[in-house]
Amino acid sequence: LWPPPKLAWRFLQNRNAPARTEKNDKGGMAVELDVLLRGQSNAFLFLSSDFGGIGASTLISEVQRLLGFDGVNDRVHLTADWYTPGQQTVYGGTAFIGDWVQRGTNGSWQALSHEQSLLNYIAKNPHPQATETAVVWLHSEYDSRNGALTTTEWESAVRADAAWVRQGLGRDAAHSPYVFVSAIPFDTASNAATQAIRLGMEKLSADASFGALVGARALDIDMSYKFSSETTSLSYGAAHMSRQDTVQTAQRLARSLAEEWAEYARPNSPVALAGGNLAEDGPKVVSAKLQDANTLLVKVTQDRSAGFAALDPDAAAGIGWSVRSSGGVAVANRVEMLSVDTLQIDFASTLPSDGVVFYGYGYGRLAAYNQPGQGNAIYDKTGMPIWTPTQGVRIDTAAPPSPTPTAPAPIQTTLGSGSDTLVLRISQDAYQGSAQYTVKVDNVQVGGTQTATAWHSSGQSDTLTIKGNWAIGNHSVAVTFLNDAWGGTSTADRNLYVDGMTYDGAAVTNGSAALRAAGPATFTVMDSTAVPGTTPTPTAPTAPAPVQTTLGSGSDTLVLRISQDAYQGSAQYTVKVDNVQIGGTQTATAWHSSG
């Protein structure tokens, strides 16, 4: 994988210049910061003429821009060498463990020739003017092919390396952070080894005493460049980054480095204006809750972003998402954004109860075989990709909370006919069914059994209008609760409420009641108007006016037209839909003979 020597674009920028102690033109002491790039052939592509060194130049110029450095008084230097024998910081086709370091016969780590070459470079190119040196680690490719590699072994080797490097630099951990490019998708890589390296990077980053951070995650890359010596037929997903891959990775590294160096930011620089937080972390998955057998609700914490960017077709199709368990792997087939911090992810198969969610597991390139990967991640509005911790996020299989039920719309019912009008406002506490009741005026039932709809907790009421011709004087009204029920708690209790009533438009005094047990509530209304008209000469009876009754709520409407032949009382009936009774017993009013 390592090309023949070619002209390198080398950043050995006046490292031996005398110390500069002058103030910069902004009134502060001049600042110099170093970036030491180390790694294999993809690190080489940051520097070499293959892409005109655009990866390296992007990294340096972007860190300087974010910190408000002018590049003259305040500067960031990239230091690296792939060409000078015995002083290379970059060497392709090599594994860190095995080619750079290895355990000796006593079990301790030993520096091999490539590691010694790195240390020689540091010793022969001192730069005491720099306040800090960040060590950018783009060095996982060949190690990711070692299926026997463990996190413990890789982490131990890096700790030994850091001790040597920091001794050579003469810097402590606080002033020489290791900045990892999370293990990139490398063809022929072992999933287990790639995961082991990524986990090691995260563990070292979590150890404040070590001094490290994951500076860039790079699953959404093309890996499409080929050196002339390569014979692979792959157009994408091979061994080497494309030009745009190096730029994208450099931009992400720059944000991480600028935030790491926030204390050096100049006033009014992007870092200073952001309060030292550039949202460089991207959306981190923090929970995954089982919504149904094939669906997860995934929550993220956003790093100062206002939410997710629009999904491209690959991201919307679920690329990269998997749920892994002892029973196998479930792969996502659809992603939908529900809110600024929530995704709904659908899977092609039933999700296991012991499943763990991953985004870009192992090799993990976010692309179909031999297809481009740029733009395929889920991004926040600042362009940073979503990520899961290397160990994944275990599914929460607890049943989701029941949605808050929506109160049904109140109903309006009219019974009878006449010049007088009694209006009752009725509500209920529903429990295992709705409250039912009857209404009597002067001990005569009006209509059939009524069923309450409105919830008392919603502050709404059904309206029951009763028409009649009642003489001047007092009249009794009885509302009888028929079907009390109680489940042992205040939230499992069926009750009926008379929320108020009017008679001929005037509010009835003491016209409300809470019926918490089966039985009647009795009220008195007073009529002050005579029944219109005189006693008529007996003639054929006048057909009563038809009534209109509305039951239930919903988007569908069933309308029945009912009439009767009345004899010693009116006909009564019930209505069922799909064998479920709607409302109570109804009483017909219209005469069939009246048409």
pLDDT at 3: 36
pLDDT at 397: 76
CATH number of the domain to which 342 belongs: 2.60.40.1220
CATH number of the domain to which 439 belongs: 2.60.60.40
- 193 and 306: one domain? no
pLDDT at 400: 56
d(CA 157, CA 109): 7
**Does the residue 47 lie in any domain?**
yes
pLDDT at 541: 74
CATH number of the domain to which 238 belongs: 3.40.50.1110
**Does the residue 450 lie in any domain?**
yes
pLDDT in tens, 448-496: 999 999 999 999 999 999 999 999 999 999 999 999 998 888 888 999 9
**Does the residue 592 lie in any domain?**
no
pLDDT at 234: 87
pLDDT at 577: 87
Of residues 567, 568, 566, the one with CA closest to residue 588:
566
**Does the residue 558 lie in any domain?**
no
- 358 and 505: one domain? no
**Does the residue 23 lie in any domain?**
no
Residue at a domain's end among 396, 422, 454: 396
- 239 and 298: one domain? no
Residues 6+ apart with CB under 8 A from 207: none
Residue identified by tokens 């994208």 is 248
- 263 and 288: one domain? no
**Tokens at residue 324, please?**
């892994």
Of residues 383, 380, 131, the one with CA closest to residue 260:
131
The one-letter amino acid at 492? A
- 126 and 175: one domain? yes
d(CA 114, CA 403): 61
pLDDT at 13: 36
**Does the residue 591 lie in any domain?**
no
pLDDT at 399: 59
Q: Please count the structural domains in the chain.
A: 3
- 389 and 499: one domain? no
**Does the residue 12 lie in any domain?**
no
pLDDT at 539: 59
pLDDT at 540: 64
Do residues 217 and 267 touch, judged by C-beta distance below 8 A? no
- 114 and 233: one domain? yes
Do residues 452 and 496 touch, judged by C-beta distance below 8 A? yes
Residue at a domain's end among 253, 273, 293: 273
- 356 and 459: one domain? no
Low-confidence residues of the chain, pLDDT below 50?
1-23, 25-27, 534-536
- 269 and 296: one domain? no
**Does the residue 418 lie in any domain?**
yes
Residue at a domain's end among 369, 396, 423: 396
pLDDT at 267: 96
- 256 and 122: one domain? yes
- 269 and 289: one domain? no
pLDDT at 591: 85
- 184 and 136: one domain? yes
pLDDT in tens, 260-305: 999 999 999 999 999 999 888 999 999 999 999 999 999 999 998 8
**Tokens at residue 98, please?**
């095995």
Residue 116 structural domain:
32-273
